[in-house]
Amino acid sequence: MMKKIYYTIIGILCFFLLFSNVSAKTLKEVKDELARDEANRNALIQKQKTVQNSIKRAQNEIGSLEDDIEKYEQEIEDLLAKIDELNEEIAEKQIEIDNLLNFLEVSDGDNVYLEYIFKSKSFTDFIYRSAVVEQMTKYNDELIEEMYELIEENKKLQVELNEKIDQNEKSIDSLEKKLSNYNVSLKDLETAHTNIDDTIADRKRTLQYYESIYKQNNCKETVELDACLTVESASGFIRPTKKGSISSEWGYRRCPIHGRELHSGIDIALAMNTPVYAAASGTVVGITRRSSCGGNIVTIRHSIKGTIYRTRYMHLASINVTMGQKVTVLTEIGKSGGGGYTLRRNGGWDRCSTGSHLHFMILPGSSGSSTINPRKMIKFPAKGKGFSARW
C-alpha cells in the first residue's frame, strides 16, 4: 500500500517535472499558447457583454417598477381625495336628514304624531308631510349607503395598490441584489481581462524574440526551444530577470570611500531569491563563490553575431549552473542576493552590497576586466523605473 502511494507521488512529480519544464516547449507550442489565450480573451469579452446586458436589463426593470410605484402612489392619493369627498358628501346628506327629521319632530312632546296632528293644518297635511319626510330621508339613506359602499371600494382599491407597491419593492430588492452580483462578476471579468491582456502582451514579446532566434538559427517550429536557443550565436542580449527596477547606472560615480570610481555594471533592484537567467545563450566560463566583494558570481561567454562578450552576474544568493555548462536565455543560473544574510553586516560574506540587487555586467572579449554600459545592448527602463518582462 505504502509502496503504491510512493510510486504515485513519484509519478506525479515526474509528470510535473516533464511538463512544467519550459525548455521542453517548441515554438509551435508557444504559438498555440498565445492562440489559446487569445481565444480565452474573446470568451471573456463575450461574457463581459452578457453581464453588461444583464445589468442594463435589471436597471431598466428597476426603472419601470419604480415608475409603476409612482403611478400607484398617485392613484392612492386620488383615492384618498375621493374618500374625503365622499365623507364630505355623507356629512352633508346627514345634515339634510337631520334637518328633515327636525322638520318632522318640531315638538318636544312624547308623541310626535299627535304633535303633528295639532301642528298640521289637517290630518291630510300631516300624512302628506310625514310621507315626504320619510321618502326624502329614505332617499338620502340610500345615497349615504351607496357612498359608504364607494368608500369601502376605494379602501379596497387602496389596499390592492399598497400590495402592488409592496410587491414592486420586493422585486426591486431582488433585482438590486442581482445587480450587485452582476457588478461583482463584471469586476472579476474585467480583472481577468486585464490579466489576460498582460499575459498576451508578454507572450507576444516572447514569441517575437523566439521567432527571431528560430529564423536566425534556421530552426523548425517543432524544434524544442532549448535545442534551438542553445546555438551559441545569439542575436543579442535580453534582460537577465523577469522583473526588477534600475537602482544604479553603469558609469563613473563618486564613492564616499574610494572617491571617483567606475560602477562596472547596472544594478537591478529586486527581491531576494528572484530567479536570474542568462542574458543570451552561451557557456558558463566563471563561477566564484562567496567573494567578499560580489558574493556568488557567475560569468558566461557569448558569441553575439560573431563577436565575443561575457556577461557577469554578482551578489547571487545561490548558483544553479556549473563550469562549462551550455546555457540559454531560459536557464536559471541562480537566485538573486545582495541583501539579507549575504550582507556582511548580517554575518554574510559580501561587503560590496547595500541591499538586495543584481549587479549585471557586460564585458567585451573573452578576457580582461573592461566593461561596457549594458544599456548599449539591452533595453532597460530609466533609473528608478521598474520592468516586468525580459523583452
The site for Zn ion (CB under 5 A) is made up of: 267, 359
d(CA 319, CA 317): 7
- The residue among 335 and 359 lying less far from Zn ion, judged by its C-beta, is 359
Cβ at position 359, least distance to Zn ion in Å: 3
- The residue among 126 and 237 lying less far from Zn ion, judged by its C-beta, is 237
Three-state secondary structure call for residue 309: strand
- The residue among 315 and 390 lying less far from Zn ion, judged by its C-beta, is 315
Other CB atoms within 10 A of residue 50 CB: 14
Give the residue nearest to Zn ion (CB).
Answer: 359
Q: How far is CA 368 from CA 227, 326, 365, in A?
A: 31, 22, 7
Which one-letter amino acid corresponds to residue 73? E
Cβ at position 287, least distance to Zn ion in Å: 19
Residues in CB range of 44: below 8 A, 6 or more apart: 189, 192, 193, 196
Burial label, 342 (beta-carbon count in 10 A; 0-12, 13-18, 19+): buried
Q: Would you say 210 and 30 are in contact if contact means Cβ atoms under 8 Å apart? A: yes
Q: Would you say 261 and 317 are in contact if contact means Cβ atoms under 8 Å apart? A: no
- The residue among 161 and 240 lying less far from Zn ion, judged by its C-beta, is 240
Cβ at position 212, least distance to Zn ion in Å: 30
Cβ at position 267, least distance to Zn ion in Å: 4
- The residue among 226 and 267 lying less far from Zn ion, judged by its C-beta, is 267
Cβ at position 284, least distance to Zn ion in Å: 21
Which one-letter amino acid corresponds to residue 10? I
Residue 333, C-alpha cell as written in the block = 543560473
Which one-letter amino acid corresponds to residue 12? I
The residues pairing with 283 across neighbouring beta strands, listed in sequence order, are 301, 326
- The residue among 151 and 363 lying less far from Zn ion, judged by its C-beta, is 363
Cβ at position 333, least distance to Zn ion in Å: 17
- The residue among 97 and 240 lying less far from Zn ion, judged by its C-beta, is 240
Nearest CA to 147 out of 193, 96, 195, 188 is that of: 96
Burial label, 20 (beta-carbon count in 10 A; 0-12, 13-18, 19+): exposed
Q: Would you say 236 and 217 are in contact if contact means Cβ atoms under 8 Å apart? A: no
- C-alpha triplet 233, 236, 239: angle, nearest 5°: 125
Q: Would you say 30 and 207 are in contact if contact means Cβ atoms under 8 Å apart? A: yes
DSSP states of 47-81: HHHHHHHHHHHHHHHHHHHHHHHHHHHHHHHHHHH
Q: Would you say 282 and 301 are in contact if contact means Cβ atoms under 8 Å apart? A: yes
- The residue among 178 and 263 lying less far from Zn ion, judged by its C-beta, is 263
- The residue among 302 and 359 lying less far from Zn ion, judged by its C-beta, is 359
